Amino acid sequence: MNRFSYLRASDVGEVVSALKDAPAAKIIAGGTNLVDLMKYNVERPERLIDITHVEALQEIIEGENGSLRIGALVSNSALAYDARVTERFPLLSSALLAGATPQLRNAATVGGNINQRTRCYYFYDAGTPCNKREPGTGCPAKTGLNRIHAILGQSEACIATHPSDMCVAMAALEAVVHVTGPDGERDIPFADYHRLPGDTPQKDNTLLDGEVVTGITLPASSTQFSANYTYLKLRDRLSYAFALVSVAVALEKEGDTVKRARIALGGVAHKPWRRAEAEALFEGKAADSGLFARVADALIDGARGYEHNAFKIRMAREAIIRALEQASAGTPQSNIDKHIV
Amino acid sequence: MLRNERNFGSPRDRVDGRAKVTGAAQYAAEFNAPDLLHGYVVSSTIAKGRITSIDTQKALDVPGVLKVFTHDNRPATAWFSSSYQDEVAPPGTPFRPLYDEQIYYSGQPIALVVAESFDVARYAASLVEATYEAGAHETDLKLARAAAYVPPKKRQGMKPPASKGDAMAAYAKAPLRIANDYSIANEHHNPMEPHASTVIFEAGGKLTIHDKIQGVMNTQSYVSGVFGLPASDIHVVSPFVGGGFGSGLRPQYQLFLAVMAALDLKRSVRVEMTRDQMFTFTHRPETINTVLLGADKTGRLSALRHQAVAVTSRFEDYQEVVVNWSGILYDAENKQFDYRIAKVDTYTPGDMRAPGAPLGTFAIESAMDELAYAGNIDPLELRLRNYSTRDETTNKEFTSKELRACFQLGAEKFGWSRRSPAPRSMREGRELIGWGMASGCWEAQFSKTSAKAVLTSDGRLEVGTATADIGTGTYTILTQIGADALGLDMEQVTAKLADTTLPKSPVEGGSWTAASAGTAVQMACEALKKTLLQEAQKIEGSPLADAKYEDVVFANGRIAMADDAGRSLDLSDVVRHSGQSEIEEQATAQPDSKVQAQYAAYTHSAVFVEVRVDEQLGLVRIPRIVNAVAAGRIINPKTARSQVTGGTVWGIGMALHEESLTDHNLGRFMNHNLAEYHVPANADIYDIDVIFVPEEDDKVSPIGVKGLGEIGIVATPAAIANAIFHATGKRIRELPITIDKVLREAA
């Protein structure tokens, strides 16, 4: 861990001006990922800007027609157990509770969660090459250990995945990310927030230099998914493990037919994985197993595996089908009983 | 004299439990000293080759850094590699930290940065720059096994079993035949407490060392040998060990580095390993078994061949017992055993909970399960048909063997008789249900151990021996034994452990401590009681003046005539009248060589497992396990149950989760943290039922105890794999059985 200076910011304006003064600064809130990365010498910020005392980012604010604006500092636990969230956006609550451990969820924030970094072994180990950590050094995962790596949207430069559970649900719920920077505020649709690695895997997202995430809005339209949803997470042990594959499904049903479907995958790509054409297969059709399989095939079409992760292609297909069955039947996966129905 | 067993055999809370949960118990890195310095280790990033240069200037420029030790500037230590041997070192040349520029494995310590604070040392360590000339490394057993060899020099205690008959000829003729490979991944111990040494530099250059170690005597003799100090100048005190599992049997490099720095700087120094660095020393060796079984149509074995090949380092021939277990569990007319090791570019593997046993047992008990299906025989019945009644590998009788009772009681508790024999025949909802079982054994060892028993003038008893309590409950059981011997309440007894000023003991390992230290304490207490009676008889007008030792009892803090409680003396009065502040006796427990020549001693277990498998998703859950254990007399059923439960959980980890993933291109373990190195989480553990079957054994140890730190894990992985086969019809012969393997086998 390197030496750094520390600034406690009291409002968003101060955060933005501090970022302007010190471009290599890092924002710290819960610190559940950043502190680890600093211990491993993966992140070496010259300055830490502590935003935990910025009052404006602490709240969940009611919007129109049931939408919620969630401050960047709301903890994962507070969000998961907020009655408005469990009622209107239970998919989000479920995804949050599938992640990490109670201790981590108590400390981790919404803003930190969307900015958390990959769990690729090589990224974390400064004794090895990694294009994401040190651009141009190479990607040993492609010919090394790639069991937990991407099968969709990866590039020659990087096959890392985004590790968040929360973000998979946010993607399906079509949340909007609010950021503030030197040029003022802007909104980023969730699908555009994270990015595929391409030739610049060092960039996880589309946040510009000097910008800070202030909050996320869950849109009113996504409250329609509260009856038919599930977050199904498959992992190597039943708790405290990152997803090999996870599936967030949000359906709006009318009788047996599906009016609207949103499906996002975790653990398979550099960002939560959605495909509009796969979701479109659903709309207006009766939910049945044949349709589920076609949707699954469309969602993972073109998937490519490596020596150790090819199994994730088949696993993803099965998981999508199972998750669609759960959501369609209105029997979401429980995070307490680990038994998958 | 009647044996008082008020505490022996009864469930008792841990005497150190309160200290542990309140933080009062001090671990190696928690001892402090004035002006303590902190060392941080820099680790190599290549697996083989040499350091061409190492630039420490930037680190030295950081304020608060005192020195950076490398192979270029390290102080002189012992010249001969033999001086680096420790009590449990395997044959070979022990690793010598910072010895020269050679790199033997990825993660090897190449520098120690010593600073006034941990944070400064850690930061400065990140500024040390090494350049290397890399050599060609090999870390893959599948390739290295081509050069496997029978270790020319056997590790102490290794007893290769004798072959008999012609196993291959018998196999060729057998109506039922099984031949397969069974492999187990590398695993790292990962005790909750990382390894650490706090070396306190005392006036006159003497050292007090708080080391993460399973035997303080081993630390003392290692430091004495390497640094040329007399043992009397090295006081090792390690009262609490936050889990060892074998990783703390041998002194590790943080000890060497901390002592080196303390002696050089003449200051107290602490070196702690990071969790990542916990993957840079010993580990359970990746092992590939090959088992051939031949049997007649009833399943009676005619041929048994068990071969294994395991990794070791370039510099030491680590060995463990892998293939013997087959020959101990089962009798066959024709047997052949072969154990080889193959060199790879890692640190030397080491003992990890039941070293070798769950690896060989996974192989033989999977193969036996396969034989059961091949012969259409119930797996439990097959084991009874081949039940060994003596240890054919050493040609000795067993001191006791209640494995049959384990089978019977375990099967009853589990409901084995309700099992539907065919694979894939049990299902609930989307999950296939599988019931599997396996048996196992572990050698019940007894090691020479000394102990003391001291009665103070306030009537309190202190018992002590240098062995460690690595979390097993040693403090508690020795307190129980002491209390029973002197007729005191446990609250009046204190157990002292893990201090080189206490009577000698070997390392805490191999499940021998309860029997060995327990017997030594019992003997010391007996000697103390005889002395107390003599002292009591010296008192003028003693009511016990003419009593024989056989005629008195020790109870309620008094010595009394057994047939006349009115004739008694208070123990504290006896001490006071003796003119001494306390009365101490010591005793040494030793194995009975006549018994050892004639008998083989083992603990046994039978494990029954239910798994639920979601075949589409590749997920395995283990809703219940019954582990029935025969381990002689149980001193404390509460701590004993914890031991076996913990071992069973570890067996689940070995079966489903644990694997140190190696990037063979880099020659480096890559999942070096507890987020990516998976052990079972609470959610993975459902019901675990432990049964101790009654087993009287007057030969294994004077107190009838066999020890049970290891037995819990031994048969568990095999039983789980067998249950997965019963559920799915898929035989997975590589541990851990991760989701990808369940899906792969289904394809």
Name the residue among B406, B620, B610, B591 with its Cα closest to residue B516: B591
A121 interaction partners in chain B (CB closer than 8 Å): 661, 663, 670-671, 676
Q: Does A236 touch chain B (CB under 8 A)?
A: yes
Contact A127 B617 (CB under 8 A): no
| H or E segment to which residue B468 belongs | none
Smallest Cα distance from A336 to chain B, Å: 9
Q: Does A2 touch chain B (CB under 8 A)?
A: yes
* CATH 3.30.43.10 domain residues, chain A: 1-49
Write down the pLDDT at residue B392.
87
Alpha carbons B515 and B575: distance in angstroms, whole number:
30
Write down the pLDDT at residue B57.
98
Write down the pLDDT at residue B744.
85
B710 is catalytic: yes
What integer is the mean pLDDT of B277-288? 98
Contact B276 A40 (CB under 8 A): yes
* In the predicted structure, residue B703 carries a pLDDT above the cut 70: yes
Q: Considering chain A, what percentage of its residues have pLDDT values greater than 90?
A: 96
Domain A224-329, what architecture? 2-Layer Sandwich (3.30)
Alpha carbons B221 and A68: distance in angstroms, whole number:
66
B132 interaction partners in chain A (CB closer than 8 Å): none
Alpha carbons B408 and B303: distance in angstroms, whole number:
27
B677 interaction partners in chain A (CB closer than 8 Å): none
**CA–CA distance from A319 to each of A246, A312, A313, A315, B433 (Å)?**
7, 10, 10, 6, 20
| Backbone φ/ψ region at B157: left (φ over 0), alpha (ψ -120 to 50), beta | left
All residues at 6 or more sequence positions from B59 whose CB lies less than 8 Å from its CB, including other chains: B65, B68, B113, B124, B125, B127, B128
Give CA B532 to chain center in angstroms.
37
Q: Does A35 touch chain B (CB under 8 A)?
A: no
* In the predicted structure, residue A253 carries a pLDDT above the cut 90: yes
ipTM over 0.95: yes
pLDDT per residue over A160-215, tens digit each? 999 999 999 999 999 999 999 999 999 999 999 999 999 999 999 999 999 999 99
Alpha carbons A194 and A266: distance in angstroms, whole number:
12
Alpha carbons A215 and A27: distance in angstroms, whole number:
14
B429 interaction partners in chain A (CB closer than 8 Å): 341
First to last CA, chain B: 68
DSSP state letter for B467: B
Write down the pLDDT at residue A134.
98
Interface of B with A in 429-448 (CB under 8 A): 429-431
Alpha carbons A69 and B1: distance in angstroms, whole number:
79
Across the interface, which of B665, B670, B744 has its CB nearest the CB of A143?
B665
| H or E segment to which residue B232 belongs | none
Is residue A108 within 8 Å of residue A100, measured between CB atoms?
Answer: yes
- Two tokens at B410? 């375990």
Contact A237 B666 (CB under 8 A): no
Q: Does A271 touch chain B (CB under 8 A)?
A: no
What integer is the mean pLDDT of A60-73? 98
Q: DSSP per residue over B298-335, as a string?
A: T--EEEEEEEEEEEE-SSB------SHHHHHHB--SEE
Interface of B with A in 250-279 (CB under 8 A): 274, 276
Q: How many CB atoms lie within 10 A of CB A258?
A: 24
HEC readout, B625-644: EEEEEECECCCCHHHHHHHH
The pTM score is 0.98
Q: Does A41 touch chain B (CB under 8 A)?
A: yes
* CATH 3.30.390.50 domain residues, chain A: 224-329
What integer is the mean pLDDT of B45-71? 98
Alpha carbons B258 and B260: distance in angstroms, whole number:
5
pLDDT per residue over B484-538, tens digit each? 999 999 999 999 999 999 999 999 998 899 999 999 999 999 999 999 999 999 9
B49 interaction partners in chain A (CB closer than 8 Å): none
Alpha carbons B277 and B246: distance in angstroms, whole number:
16
Across the interface, which of B123, B681, B744 has its CB nearest the CB of A238?
B681
Q: Does B543 touch chain A (CB under 8 A)?
A: no
Write down the pLDDT at residue A281.
97
Q: Does A340 touch chain B (CB under 8 A)?
A: yes
Is residue B207 within 8 Å of residue B223, measured between CB atoms?
Answer: yes
Residue B80's SS3 state is: coil
Residue scoring higher pLDDT (B77 or A76): A76
Complete domains list, chain B, with CATH: 31-136+192-243+248-279 (3.90.1170.50), 147-187+283-445+597-746 (3.30.365.10), 447-590 (3.30.365.10)
Name the residue among A260, A272, A228, A230 with its Cα closest to residue A248: A230
Write down the pLDDT at residue A341.
83
Q: Where are the alpha helices (DSSP H) in chain A?
A: 12-21, 34-39, 76-81, 83-88, 90-98, 102-107, 110-114, 121-124, 166-172, 190-193, 276-280, 289-299, 311-329
**Residue type at A151 in one-letter notation:** I
Write down the pLDDT at residue B162.
87
CATH 2.30.30.230 fits A1-49, yes or no: no
pLDDT band, residue B733 (cuts 50/70/90): very high
The sign of the CA dihedral A122, A126, A132, A137 is negative
